[in-house]
Amino acid sequence: MITLQKKKSKDFVVLNLTDPQLANSEWEEGHQNRQILEYTVRELVARVSPDLITVSGDLAWAGHTVAYEKLANFLDSFAIPWAPVWGNHDNQEGPDAVDAVADAFLKHPYCVYEKGDPALGNGNYVIAVEEEGKMVEGIFMIDSHDRNYLQTEDGSPRDVWAKLIPEQLVWYENEVKRLKEAGCLETAMILHIPFYAYHLAAEAAYRPGIDRKEMTLAQAEGPDVWQEGYENSIGVMYEGVGCYPGEDGVFEVIRRGGSTKYVIAGHDHINNWMIDYEGVRLIYGLKVGAGCYWNPILNGGTVLQIGSEGVKEARHEFVNVSHLLSQKEN
Ligand SMILES: [Fe+2]
Relative to beta strand 260-265, strand 280-284 is parallel
Residues with CB under 5 A from ligand 1 (ion): 58, 87-88, 267
Task: Find the 230 Cα to ligand 1 centroid distance in Å.
Answer: 27
Task: Find the 322 Cα to ligand 1 centroid distance in Å.
Answer: 24
Say if residues 127 and 112 touch (Cβ distance below 8 Å).
yes
Task: Find the 193 Cα to ligand 1 centroid distance in Å.
Answer: 6
Task: Find the 269 Cα to ligand 1 centroid distance in Å.
Answer: 8
Task: Find the 202 Cα to ligand 1 centroid distance in Å.
Answer: 19
Say if residues 277 and 197 touch (Cβ distance below 8 Å).
yes
Task: Find the 87 Cα to ligand 1 centroid distance in Å.
Answer: 5
Task: Find the 77 Cα to ligand 1 centroid distance in Å.
Answer: 25
pLDDT of residue 212: 93
Question: pLDDT tens-digit profile of 217-272?
Answer: 999 988 899 999 999 999 999 999 999 999 999 999 999 999 999 999 999 999 99
Residues across the chain: 330
Distance set, CA 229 to CA 206, 284, 322 (Å): 11, 19, 36
The span from the first CA to the last CA of the chain, in angstroms, equals 45
pLDDT of residue 157: 86
Task: Find the 267 Cα to ligand 1 centroid distance in Å.
Answer: 4
pLDDT of residue 317: 98
pLDDT of residue 140: 98
Task: Find the 139 Cα to ligand 1 centroid distance in Å.
Answer: 20
Q: Give pLDDT tens digits along the chain (330 positions).
A: 999 999 999 999 999 999 999 999 999 999 999 999 999 999 999 999 999 999 999 999 999 999 999 999 999 999 999 999 999 999 999 999 999 999 999 999 999 999 999 999 999 999 999 999 999 999 999 999 999 988 888 888 899 999 999 999 999 999 999 999 999 999 999 999 999 999 999 999 999 989 999 999 999 988 899 999 999 999 999 999 999 999 999 999 999 999 999 999 999 999 999 999 999 999 999 999 999 999 999 999 999 999 999 999 999 999 999 999 975 554
The sheet carrying 187-191 orders its strands as: 2-6, 125-131, 134-142, 187-191, 260-265, 280-284, 274-277
For 219-224, the CB contacts below 8 A with 24+ separation are 220/273
Task: Find the 192 Cα to ligand 1 centroid distance in Å.
Answer: 6
| Spatial separation of the C-alpha atoms in residues 329 and 244, rounded to whole Å | 33
Task: Find the 198 Cα to ligand 1 centroid distance in Å.
Answer: 15
Task: Find the 277 Cα to ligand 1 centroid distance in Å.
Answer: 22
Task: Find the 306 Cα to ligand 1 centroid distance in Å.
Answer: 27
Fold of 2-324: Purple Acid Phosphatase; chain A, domain 2 (3.60.21)
Task: Find the 126 Cα to ligand 1 centroid distance in Å.
Answer: 22
**CA geometry: angle 58, 44, 37, nearest 5 deg:** 45
| Spatial separation of the C-alpha atoms in residues 271 and 101, rounded to whole Å | 28
Comparing C-alpha atoms, which of 12, 113, 128, 8 is closest to residue 55? 113
| Spatial separation of the C-alpha atoms in residues 330 and 326, rounded to whole Å | 6
Close Cβ partners of 82 (under 8 Å, ≥ 6 residues apart):
52, 53, 54, 55, 75, 76, 110, 111, 112
pLDDT of residue 153: 86
- For the full predicted model, state whether its pTM sits above 0.85: yes
Question: pLDDT tens-digit profile of 154-189?
Answer: 888 899 999 999 999 999 999 999 999 999 999 999
pLDDT of residue 327: 55
Q: Where are the beta strands (DSSP E) in 180-257?
A: 187-191
| Spatial separation of the C-alpha atoms in residues 209 and 134, rounded to whole Å | 48
